Amino acid sequence: MRFVDAHTHLELFAFRDVPLEKARSVEDVRNMILSLPKEVVLGWGWREESLGTSLEREHLEDIPKAVLLLRMDAHVGVVNGRLIDTIGLEKSDKFDPERGYLYEEELWRVASLLKPKGNDMAKAIMKGLREAASMGVVEIHDFVDGDLAEVYAGLEDIPVSVVLMPYYEDHERVVDVVRRSKRFRLGWVKIFVDGSIGARTAYLKEPYEDTSSRGLLLKNYREIASAVEELESKGLRVALHAIGDGAVEECLRAFEVVRPKLPYHRIEHAELITRDQALRAKELRLLLCMQPNFTPFFRETYLKALGRERGSRINPIGMLDELGVDMIFGSDMMPFDPMYGFNYAKSILGERKAKYYYGGWRDEGRYL
C-alpha cells in the first residue's frame, strides 16, 4: 500500500517526555512523570478510553514538577499548580483552574512556550517522517507555523513527500519558506472553527449528551468568509477545522456568501456533517478531509458525549461516498497508523474505494 496521510501534526513527536499512549491508569501516568529527571514535563496522548477516567489537576497536584499533558486530540490539556504558578495562568473561558484544563488556543499558547525548539524539534520531525515511511506513507500534509516550516527547510534526506499546511495566523511566513526551499508543496491554510468532541468544544447544533453546552464557536461565518476572500486573493485555499454540525453550518454559510472561485477548499473532519450539509458541500466543490480511524478509536467518547443516535452518525464516510462528495483521508495522529483507518474504511467502503481515498486520488493528480 502507498498511503497519503492528508492530516498530520508531526510536531507532536516532540511532546513525548512521557509515553502517555502506553498508560493504562492515572497511577501509570504519575509514575512516568516521577521517573523523569526533568523539572518541566510536556506530554501528549492520554485519553479516557485507556485510563478509565479523565485526567485532572487533582491527579498531578502533588507532583514536584511543572506538568502539561495534552489529551490525544490536543484540544484540551491538563496542568498542575506548579505550572500554573510558573506560567502565571489566570481563569478564563479557555482555562478552568479547578480541573486544570486548558482549551484550544490558550492550550497551544502554553504548549508553544514549553515545546522543544531547533535541533530537538528537527529530530522529532525526522522521527515522525521515518515512521510514516516505514508504514507505507508516501506523502503527508503537515500543519505548521513559520518556525516549524523553517525546521522543515533545514532537514535533509526527507523520506516522504511533504505538503506544508500553514496555520492562518502565520501563513505568509510558511508561504515564504515554501517558495525559498522549493522542496515542499504548499497546501491549504488552516483556520479553527471549533474544537473537539472529546474536549466538548466541537460546536454542535444541540447540546452534548452529558452537559448543557453546545461547545465553542471559534469563528463565525462572517469571519470565515472574510478569510476565504483574503486567501483567494492570494491564490490560496483554506482548510477549515470543523467537527460539529454547528461548525460545519458556519463553514457552508461562509462559502455560500463568498461563492469561491477556486475549487476544493477543504473542511477538516466534518464528523457530524448531515446529508443536507453534504449535498451543499458537493455543490460548492468542497473537499472533505475525513478520519475513518476516529470511529473505532473514540467509540466510547462519542457515545458518552453525543448519545446513541448522534454517535451512530459520526464520520459518515459511507454517506459521503454515496453522494459523490469529494473526500480524502488522513489520520490526525489518532493513531498515527494508516492501516488502522484503512481497515475500518475498507469495512465500510470496500478495498478499492478505501485505497482511493487514502491516496489513489494523488496518482490521478487531483486536488493539489
pLDDT of residue 186: 98
Check: CB of residue 193 under 8 Å from CB of residue 251.
yes
End-to-end CA distance of the chain: 21
Q: Which residues contact 42 (CB under 8 A, 6 or more apart)?
A: 15, 17, 68, 69, 111, 114, 115
Q: What 8-state DSSP symbol labels residue 335?
A: T
Check: CB of residue 270 under 8 Å from CB of residue 218.
no
Residue 296 corresponds to which cell in the numbers above?
473505532
Report how far Cα 344 is from the mean position of its chain's Cα atoms.
19
Strand partners, 41: 67
Report the helix count and the strand count for the chain, using DSSP H and E: 17, 14
Query: Which residues in the chain come in under a pLDDT of 50?
Result: none
Check: CB of residue 255 under 8 Å from CB of residue 284.
yes
Start-end of H helices in the chain: 26-34, 48-51, 57-60, 81-87, 104-114, 118-134, 146-153, 171-181, 221-233, 245-258, 275-283, 294-297, 299-311, 317-323, 338-349, 351-355, 361-363
Check: CB of residue 66 under 8 Å from CB of residue 82.
yes
Coil, helix or strand at residue 90: coil
Coil, helix or strand at residue 314: coil
Residue 246 corresponds to which cell in the numbers above?
454547528
Check: CB of residue 256 under 8 Å from CB of residue 221.
no
Domains of the chain: 3-10+117-363 (3.20.20.140), 12-114 (3.10.310.70)
pLDDT of residue 17: 86
pLDDT of residue 16: 87
Quickly count: other Cβ atoms within 10 Å of residue 315's Cβ: 25
pTM of the prediction?
0.96
pLDDT of residue 182: 87
Check: CB of residue 123 under 8 Å from CB of residue 155.
no
Integer Cα distance of 183 and 169 in angstroms: 23
Check: CB of residue 5 under 8 Å from CB of residue 289.
no
pLDDT of residue 109: 96
Q: Which of 101, 27, 38, 49 is nearest to 70 (CA)?
A: 101
Integer Cα distance of 165 and 143 in angstroms: 4
